[in-house]
Amino acid sequence: MNITVTRPFLPPLEEYQAYVKGIWDRGWLTNGGPLANTLELRLKEYLGVDHLLFVANGTVALQIAIKALDLRGEIITTPFSYVASTSSIVWEGCSPVMTDIRPDTLNIDPEKIEAAITGNTVAILAVHVFGNPCDTERIQDIAQKHGLRVIYDAAHAFGTTYRGRSLLSFGDVSTCSFHATKLFHTIEGGAVVCPDPDLLRRMALMRNFGHVTAEAFGEVGINGKNSEMHAAMGLCNLDHIESVIQARAGICEQYRARLQGVPAAFQAISGDTRYNHAYFPVIFNSEPILLKVLEHLRLHSVFPRRYFYPSLTTLPYVQGQAAPIAEDIARRILCLPLYVGLSTEEVDMICRLIKRAIRY
């Protein structure tokens, strides 16, 4: 049996079926159904945030955030992320300005942000890489000094707290992904979180074609809603989220213990953080070592992922920008399999294969 980099957590089937039975009875499948509304309320309670919208996916969340903040110009962002972070900026008619990362946390380096600011800069779009908190205090200080808005791509940050607060509570807007590969998922889905109720109301209009009523429109909008079926999966998974995080933490602890002495480093998790263990990245000392490990694992039906690779500075619509640290890390980083149900024996086997590949 293949061991993949991730495997979606699925709740007991009967729990999901109970929600589906209610959907069938009501005949209400989408357009702000009761399960979608209940999920929003429960997510706000779990996360400790005041304002949250359940949307179609994490990319739509980013696009709505950029549009709702009326951003036009340059947005400082990171080259070490999934492509959606940059493509959302370009899609909304703005220009991404790549700023290099810190080699330990893998997050955007605040010390490099200020040097990238020009008269055309309108915002900072930072990513909590693998759910690891950015330096939110420093980023906010820079933003206030220069009159910039702050969006956090928190696609991986569900369940992470920083200084006693949900990591989703920072910035003008935080966006989250609830894709099936995430530790909390609604199969497909995402969310926008923000402290400003007026901004949230505007994003709520944008999520649903701009409808104020059936006949009146208050905003240009898109179809960014999500369905009752997806909300049902979210409600089921939310009941299990603490055990999911605990199980992933145990696997990560086992990896760290078994991989001591390997020519590689681990991501440094920011202080004062309750980490959600979204991923387990390993940064090998060189790309040739990574390639040997990758080949050996694949020969034994283990499929990690080069994530994030390549650096987003290589995108054809991001030209003339360099980020040497991000480009170097992208060539040397490998995310190992991590999901509920990955056994102790399988983790031990993966670690033995890694060590064997390096010895050879």
Tally of CB atoms within 10 A around 250:
14
Tally of CB atoms within 10 A around 146:
13
Residue among 186, 339, 327 nearest 255 (CA): 339
Give the separation between CA 335 and CA 350, rounded to whole angstroms.
Answer: 12
Can you give the pLDDT at residue 1?
A: 81
pLDDT tens per residue across span 60-100: 999 999 999 999 999 999 999 999 999 999 999 999 999 99
Q: Where are the beta strands (DSSP E) in 65-115?
A: 74-77, 95-98
Query: Is the confidence at residue 256, as pLDDT, over 70?
Result: yes
Query: How far is CA 48 from its chain centroid?
Result: 18
Query: How far is CA 271 from its chain centroid?
Result: 19
Query: How far is CA 60 from its chain centroid?
Result: 13
Q: Tell me which architecture the domain covering 13-238 has in CATH.
A: 3-Layer(aba) Sandwich (3.40)
Residue 12 pLDDT level (bands cut at 50, 70, 90): very high
Preceding peptide of 308 cis, ω within 30°? yes
Can you give the pLDDT at residue 320?
A: 82
Can you give the pLDDT at residue 13?
A: 98
Query: Is the confidence at residue 210, as pLDDT, over 70?
Result: yes
CATH of range 240-359; options 1.10.540.10, 3.40.50.2300, 3.90.1150.10, 3.90.1170.50: 3.90.1150.10
Q: Residue ranges of the domains in the chain?
A: 13-238, 240-359
Q: Is 269 exposed, middle or buried (0-12, 13-18, 19+ CB in 10 A)?
A: middle
Residue 319 pLDDT level (bands cut at 50, 70, 90): confident
Query: Is the confidence at residue 337, as pLDDT, over 70?
Result: yes
Q: Would you state the structure tokens that stand for residue 132, as one six-digit string?
A: 């690891």
Residue among 191, 172, 188 nearest 180 (CA): 188
Full-model pTM: 0.97
Task: Give the pLDDT mean for 210-221.
Answer: 94
Residue with tokens 């928190």: 154
Task: Please check whether the two domains, 13-238 and 240-359, share a CATH topology.
Answer: no
Q: Is 294 helix (H, G, I), strand (E, B) or coil?
A: helix
Query: Is the confidence at residue 360, as pLDDT, over 80?
Result: no
Task: Give the pLDDT mean for 199-226.
Answer: 96
Per-residue CA distances from 274 to 204, 288, 337 (Å): 30, 34, 21
Find the helix or strand (DSSP H, E) in which 238 lies: helix 228-238
Task: Give the pLDDT mean for 251-258.
Answer: 98
pLDDT tens per residue across span 290-309: 999 999 999 999 999 999 99
